Every structure is written in structure tokens, then in C-alpha cells.
Amino acid sequence: MGPRPNIHITDPKMIREIFLKYDIFQKARSPLVKLLVTGMADYAGEQWFKVRKIATPAFHHDKLKNMLPTIHKSCNDMLRKWEISVSKDESCELDVWPHIQTLTADVISRTAFGSSFEEGRKIFAVLREQIHLLIKLHFLLIFQDGEPKFEELNQLKVVSQILYEVLRLYSPAPLLTRANVKEIKLGEIVIPPGVLLSLPIMLVHHDHEYWGDDAKKFNPDRFSEGVSKASKNQISFFSFGWGPRICIGQNFALLESKLALAMILQKFTFQLSPTYMHAPTRGVTVYPQHGANIILHKI
């Protein structure tokens, strides 16, 4: 679309090269996204390097561990509301999508503002522009294949596998874009400067060549030996991007999702509502167009 040539790159080797040469293949965003997202995710060169260096310790394992009680509080608030909803009949139908959106916003404001001012200031500088990225706890979409297999879910390993499989099938960012700042050879192709390169996560994530015959199926087992062994090619999964500019918040997002899911499953069982319509669509991120209606049963 438009006057700029745009090449879709689906070859994992080329995708890897684009992510590694991040100073040549720079992030390219539409003016609309630029309006919504400013900050580290949009910086390049020296400016990016400095901010990333400052922000990285805020996402260190120990820091995340300390955030756990805060995330726990936010999850509890959500679950309390669900308990009130089911209290009369021991079950009820609920569109949980707005609840999940509130949870992600709540966790971010508590973790960013609730910690010491200095720390909060640093984290918030990073998080401010990323709130939209947080609205992506897509675990409910796992129901697309019928009944969920939740019996084994008391093990966090299984929860991780489920989260990765949901991120594979419904990557919140379905496509990443780059533009090269100078002429460069990519594989056998010479690319003049300014060409748009689209990295279609959704296409690569659904490709039979890398994921096998069941590529379109929900099968968390494929992640049983970790992300790198889940597909035939090391870089076939890149919901969080890849390389030096990989998502800084990925462990934060996974921690929050795991905890939320584990807590929900301790208090509720659920089934898909007959009114649920499976129609994931793309806004700023991929989201369930008609909400996520489920029937909750209190345990």
C-alpha cells in the first residue's frame, strides 16, 4: 500500500538477520502508531541503547519476584468481582475480556507507581507507552478447539506451554515492520534504502513447514521442551520480537499471565458460553472482537 515498496519476509534466516542488524533495519511505524507509541520501543541508535540499558535492571528476575505480591493483589481484586457475580447461583456467564484489560492496566499502575519513587519512575518511563501492549492475555482463546483440557493445569510448566501456544496462534502483534537505512544485501536480494520489510508473525506462526501438519491446531505439547525446540526453525516463534530489541517486558507479561491463570483455576472451572463467537481481530493488538463470554462455576 502507498508509494513505498514493501517486501514480506517469511524466511527465518532472513528474519534473524533483520533482527540482528537492528541498526540498519530500523523500526518503521505508521504515523498513527507513532502517535500512540513514543519512547523506547520507537527509539533508534544511541538513544535506544541508553534507555534500554537504564530500563533492563527494572525487569531483572529479582525485581519481578518482588512484584509478585502486587500482581497477586490485582488478580485477587478481579477474582473477588467474579465471585460476587457467581455468588447467587454458583455459576454465571461473564464477558471476561474487559476484566482482563482492567487487570493488565491495574497491574501496570500498581507495579509502576507502587514501588519506590525512583524505581517507579524508571519503570514507568518504559511502561507508559506500552500499556496497550499489555492488553493481551489471550488465554481464553484456547477454547477454539472445543473443551479445554484443564485437568493438568496445576503444573506451571503446562501453563507456560499454554501461554506460548496462545501467543503463537494469536500473536498480539501480528506483524512487525522495518525499513533499511542503507542499501544492503539480504540473502540474494539487494534492497535499496527505505524499503519496508514486513515480518508477518502470524504467517510464520501458522506455517506447516516450520510447525508441522498440526500448525493451525491448539497443541501446547509442542512447547514441552521449550520454545527453541517447538518448531523446526529456531526463529519461527517471535511474538516478543527477537535479538537485541526483543520485548523487554516479556518475562513480566508471562509472570502476570501465569499467576492470573493459576489463581483463576484454583477458584473456578469454566466452559465456553454458547454465545461466544471466535473472531480474533486486529486493533492496536489482536483481541477477541465479540468479547470472551464464558460460563464460570465456583469450585
CB of 232 to ligand HEM, least distance (A): 21
Distance from C-alpha of 138 to C-alpha of 131, rounded to nearest angstrom:
15
CB of 81 to ligand HEM, least distance (A): 22
CB of 65 to ligand HEM, least distance (A): 15
State which residue has the least CB distance to ligand HEM.
249
Q: Which one, 131 or 184, has the nearer CB to ligand HEM?
A: 131
Residues that bind ligand HEM (CB under 6 A): 27, 40-41, 52, 126-127, 130, 133-134, 136, 172-173, 176, 239-241, 245, 247-249, 252-253
Q: Which one, 120 or 172, has the nearer CB to ligand HEM?
A: 172
Q: Which one, 110 or 245, has the nearer CB to ligand HEM?
A: 245
Amino acid at 104: T
CB of 41 to ligand HEM, least distance (A): 4
Please state, in angstroms and as integers, the Cα–Cα distance from residue 244 to each residue in 17, 48, 179, following that order: 12, 11, 17
Q: Does 247 belong to an annotated binding site?
A: yes
Grid cell 505508521 is found at: 30
Q: Which one, 42 or 93, has the nearer CB to ligand HEM?
A: 42
| Listed residue (110, 105, 95, 114) closest to 136, CA to CA | 105
Residues 6 or more apart whose CB falls under 8 angstroms from that of 30 comprise none
- Within 10 Å of residue 41's Cβ, how many Cβ atoms? 20
Distance from C-alpha of 56 to C-alpha of 74, rounded to nearest angstrom:
24
Query: Residues annotated as binding site for heme?
Result: 247
